[in-house]
Amino acid sequence: MEYKELMQLAEEARERAYAPYSHFRVGVALLSTSGKVYMGCNIENASYGATMCAERTALFKAVSEGEREFSAIAISGAAEGQQGSFCAPCGICRQALSEFCSTECAVILGDSDNLKVYTMGELLPLSFRLPD
């Protein structure tokens, strides 16, 4: 799948964000090595700490469906009414993703007209892992 198409799915997922507190909407499209796409959005809560980020929504959906490896993730995030988008994943999501994404996994940021492509290794060097 083209990165542009994956970002378009992330933008579609962003429309389903539930963000009445921050008004910052995030959507994700996560591509498994089996070729399936899992979408996710941020889901906020009146008890703010119970909020779930879009990246982990998509990751946990996919892992709970049996996926264990991913080749790319597109992330679209912006404040309501803002033009364009550039939303890098938070630290907790980087750590959660690193459990299932290799250092080569593509992390696609920006928007579908202006993609910025990174790797997991660039976003989270020296990631924590338990020894084999």
Give the span between the Cα atoms of 77 and 67, in whole angstroms: 24
From CA 6, how far away is CA 95, in angstroms rounded? 22
Told to judge if 69 belongs to the known catalytic residues of this protein, a careful annotator would answer no
Give the nearer residue to ligand THU in terms of CB position, either 66 or 91.
91
Rounded distance between C-alpha atoms, residue 43 and residue 12, angstroms = 15
Among 6, 10, 13, 19, which residue interacts with ligand THU (rule: CB under 6 A)?
19
Distance CA 76, CA 39 (A): 11
Q: Does 44 bind ligand THU (CB under 6 A)?
A: yes
Measured CA to CA, the distance from residue 35 to residue 74 in angstroms comes to 14
Q: How far is Cα 81 from Cα 36, in angstroms, rounded to an integer?
A: 31
Restricted to residues 87-116, the positions that interact with ligand THU (CB under 6 A) are: 89-90, 93
User: Pick from 10, 13, 42, 101: which binds ligand THU (CB under 6 A)?
Assistant: 42
The residue within the footprint of ligand THU, chosen from 6, 7, 26, 124 (CB under 6 A), is: 26
Q: Which is nearer to ligand THU, 55 or 111 (CB)?
A: 55
Query: C-beta of 132: minimal distance to ligand THU in Å?
Result: 29
Options 3, 8, 12, 51; binder of ligand THU; rule CB under 6 A: 51
Question: Measuring CA to CA, which residue among 15, 24, 10, 41 is closest to residue 106?
Answer: 10
**Which residues form the interface with ligand THU (CB under 6 A)?**
19, 22, 24, 26, 42, 44, 51, 53-55, 89-90, 93
